[in-house]
Structure 1
């Protein structure tokens, strides 16, 4: 089945919301080999990598992205795993989009865990089961700018959020941990402010990429192919021998 654009999407944004911005073939978060399979099975002109699996399954590999690019397919990344891989492969033709991509490009020691969230299985739409550290940090900084909390509490909450494993990280878990040592009027104000004011930069970047692709839908034709160095491991994975 041919598709002009293939998008790997999961906890960052629902497929229903994504379709409001871009008509595409939406697949679950990418793991090792999934981009190569998408190229073979769907022959797209462009691939957008937003979400990917990790930890319990092999992550999407750099080599398969480079292979897709060598075949003339435009590969974009944003928000989560896509932002990480785009920052790592920008010099080789992968196109990044959004603030998180730019942060990873300029932050040499940026932690992959800053965008990680626990997610439901693909059969349950891969929806998020927590909150990403980067979204929590940006929200806390916005709360400081709005004078809801001061810089001291903001720094303490950021450190506490980082100490929580990504699989358990959420605002609810953060507040439960904070109340053990940090209870007070500032924390109470933050809890009242948060429901209406919290934002997800991951979601904003994902929507931004989808809109970008939609606006360029007539200009996403494949580019001329390029040389690709075939390694023994990649050839084995692709079934060449």
Structure 2
């Protein structure tokens, strides 16, 4: 394509499916320091942040995204951690895409955990071990529109879903807890059956949409973006020293 794209991807979409939409370098979910490392190792023109780590190790920092953009890298975010960071950094030039991004953009106090899911180790492909709350909520909304359940049950199930820690949250777990709370009945049975083909996968749809956009002929980006100003902070410098990126903090062009 004439420019290099690095994509941080994990439980939202498999790499095999992602490659059907965009030929790029795919890396495991981003954590603290990984975007800086990608810029140093691969010199991409574009970085796409879809998935990132949440609790098992430090999350990707806002400052390293700003640093990447200061080096002329265009940074896009969607679906999961990418949508969260894009909503937070839109005013500084990070590009967000999709419904999940737009929801975070207009809901400043939204919980990051609404897009979080437990995932397998990177060595095993970072595949999802559950369902994100945002996908559960959109699915229940669709179930009401399809007249599978009533609005009252939707509200109750959303409350139950939110009470489940994201590491254990799934449709299967939700139905099980609903039964434990005495909600078993025709509506719940109908929902359980409908879920086999009725689940909303908005995170996945947003990821595919962004990758498709970046691969389309209408997307033109033949050169790197113009570098922007970056203010070095003590916290960022400490991070770079920790990850042994000392050459970054010694470069005078960062000031």
Specify the TM-score bucket, using the shorter chain as the normaliser: over 0.9
Q: Which residue of the partner structure matches residue 194 of structure 1?
A: 195
Residue 49 of structure 2 corresponds to residue 44 of structure 1: no
Verify the 8 A CA contact 1:3 1:43 in the aligned structure 2: no
Whether the aligned pair in 2 keeps the contact of 1:117 and 1:169 (CA below 8 Å) is yes
What SS is found at the alignment partner of 1:7?
A: strand
User: Considering only aligned residues, what root-mean-square deviation do their CA atoms show, in Å?
Assistant: 1.3
Q: Which runs of 5+ in 1 are unaligned?
A: none
Instruction: State whether residues 83 and 101 of structure 1, in contact with CA within 8 Å, keep that contact through their aligned partners in structure 2.
Output: yes
Structure 1 segment 14-163 matched on structure 2, within 5 A: 14-163=14-163
Q: How far off is 1:220 after superposition?
A: 4.9
CA contact (8 A) 2:132 2:170 kept: yes
TM-score under structure 2 length normalisation: 0.91
Deviations 1:161-216, CA, capped at 9 Å, x for gaps: 00000000011110110012201100011011110111210000000010111115
Separation in structure 1 between the aligned mates of residue 223 and residue 52 of structure 2, nearest angstrom: 25
Contact 2:117 2:128 in 1 (8 A): yes
* Alpha-carbon distance in 2 for matches of 1:185, 1:207: 35
Is 2:212 the counterpart of 1:205? no
Structure 2 Cα separation of the partners of residues 225 and 87 of structure 1: 21
Residue 226 (structure 1) shift: 1.6
* 3-state DSSP of counterpart to 2:167: helix
How many pairs are equivalent?
Answer: 240
Question: Could you tell me how far 1:146 is from its partner in structure 2?
Answer: 0.4
* Corresponding residue to 1:235 among 208, 213, 237: 237
Partner of 2:9: 9
Listed one character per residue, the Cα deviations across residues 1-27 of structure 1 (whole Å, up to 9, x for unaligned) are x97000000000000000000000000
Evaluate the alpha carbon distance shift between residue 152 and residue 31 of structure 1 in structure 2; reply closer, same or farther with a 3 A threshold. Answer: same
User: 1:179 is matched with which residue?
Assistant: 179
Q: Equivalents in 1 of 2:222, 2:38: separation in Å? A: 17
Q: Is the 8 A contact 2:74 2:225 kept in 1?
A: yes
Structure 2 regions of 5+ residues with no counterpart? 251-255
**Structure 1 residues 136 and 203: alpha-carbon distance in aligned structure 2, compared to 1, 3 A threshold:** same
> Which TM-score applies when normalising by structure 1?
0.97
Alpha-carbon distance between aligned partners in 2 of 1:16 and 1:110, rounded to the nearest angstrom: 31
Distance 2:65 2:223 in 1: 17
Give 1:28 shift: 0.1
Q: Mean alpha-carbon deviation: is it higher for 113-122 or for 212-221?
A: 212-221
Instruction: Tell me, in whole angstroms, the C-alpha distance in 2 between the residues paired with 1:4 and 1:78.
Output: 18
Asked if structure 1 preserves the Cα contact closer than 8 Å seen for 2:21 and 2:215, the reply is yes
Contact 1:3 1:24 in 2 (8 A): no
Contact 2:3 2:222 in 1 (8 A): no
- Where 1:228 maps in the other structure, the secondary structure is coil
Q: Confirm or deny: 8 A CA contact 2:3 2:223 kept in the other structure.
A: no
Displacement of 1:233: 2.7
